[in-house]
Amino acid sequence: MIADEPKRPDPRLAIDPRALGLREPPRGFFRRGTVRVARDLVGAWIARRWRGRWYGARIVETEAYLGPADRAAHSWGGRRTPRIEPMYAVGGHLYVFLVYGMHHCANVVTRREGEAEAVLLRAAEPPGGAPPRLLAGPGKLCAGLGITTRSSGLDLVGGTIRILVPARRPRRRLAVSPRIGIDYAGDAKHWPLRFYDEHSKSVSR
DNA sequence: CACATGATCGCCT
DNA sequence: GGCGATCATGTGG
């Protein structure tokens, strides 16, 4: 068995980015403040090209992870290890890690090179007729698109995995809450850094 | 509906 | 050696 073989995306996530009116934002989109990027990623699409075809889904839930002062962030206290290294890249890179030994989490790196902040993609809404809860959670989102640690460190800008935004973004109300699953993070666990589309049936629970 | 638990392993202390 | 930026399944009320 080939250990390093890329995983196939769920066929039900097949999309035509052009028909959906999606375009790729410039690098500057990702170099902005992390909270700003986290808010703007709700409503954007995560897309992946696999064997000449595009697969993707509309992001409906994100979380901002800030720098050294954020106890919930992997870069807390200025930690810098091989796993976390992609977080230190310039905004627009992908940081993927494994949690609980079996689930992957995909993050969009933000800000300038050396500033280790990122946005966790927590949930997305599948196109077409796929079950609404197929990607309702960070692990499920990665599983559906076939994203693993293999892709950690990739540049999203112009890459086979990329972020796409609608040509005209509908004005959408954004709900805010504390982040999920970080009870160990002290006061940071109360910070309002989770953003989601409360009308979507694809938000995690 | 609200918990409770097991699965499973790379990473960091 | 301990522990997660999770999920599915099980129990009981």
For A44-80, what is each residue's pLDDT tens digit? 999 999 999 999 999 999 999 999 999 999 999 999 9
Q: Which amino acid is at A131?
A: P
- Scanning every strand, the nucleotide with its C1' closest to A77's CA turns out to be B12
Task: Say which CATH superfamily domain A11-197 falls into.
Answer: Methylpurine-DNA glycosylase (MPG) (3.10.300.10)
- Scanning every strand, the nucleotide with its C1' closest to A185's CA turns out to be C5
Q: Which of A23, A67, A41, A48 is nearest to A148 (CA)?
A: A48
Q: Which of residues 76-95 of A touch strand C (CB under 7 A)?
A: none
Q: Beta-carbon neighbour count of residue A172 at 10 Å?
A: 12
Beta bridge partners of A98: A104
Relative to beta strand A14-15, strand A103-110 is unpaired
Whether nucleic acid strand C comes within 7 Å of the CB of A203, the answer is: no
Using CB atoms within 10 Å of the CB of residue A38, give its burial: 0 to 12 exposed, 13 to 18 middle, 19+ buried. Answer: buried
Q: How far is CA A45 from its chain centroid? A: 9
Q: Which of residues 137-166 of A touch strand C (CB under 7 A)?
A: 137-141
In angstroms, rounded to a whole number, what is the distance separating the alpha carbons of residues A146 and A159?
A: 15
What is the gyration radius of the CA atoms in chain A, in angstroms? 16
| Residue whose CA is minimally distant from B9 C1' | A101
- Scanning every strand, the nucleotide with its C1' closest to A117's CA turns out to be C5
Q: Is the pLDDT of residue A3 over 80?
A: no
pTM of the model: 0.95
Measured to protein CB atoms, the chain B nucleotides within 7 Å are 7-13
Measured to protein CB atoms, the chain C nucleotides within 7 Å are 3-8
Q: How far, in Å, is the CA of A187 from the C1' of nucleotide B10?
A: 27
Q: What is the pLDDT of residue A47?
A: 98
- Scanning every strand, the nucleotide with its C1' closest to A83's CA turns out to be B11
For A135-182, what is each residue's pLDDT tens digit? 999 999 999 999 999 999 999 999 999 999 999 877 778 999 999 999
Domain assignments of chain A as residue spans, ordered by start = 11-197
Kindly indicate the confidence band of residue A4, based on its pLDDT and cuts at 50, 70 and 90: low
- Scanning every strand, the nucleotide with its C1' closest to A120's CA turns out to be C5
For A87-113, what is each residue's pLDDT tens digit? 999 999 999 999 999 999 999 999 999
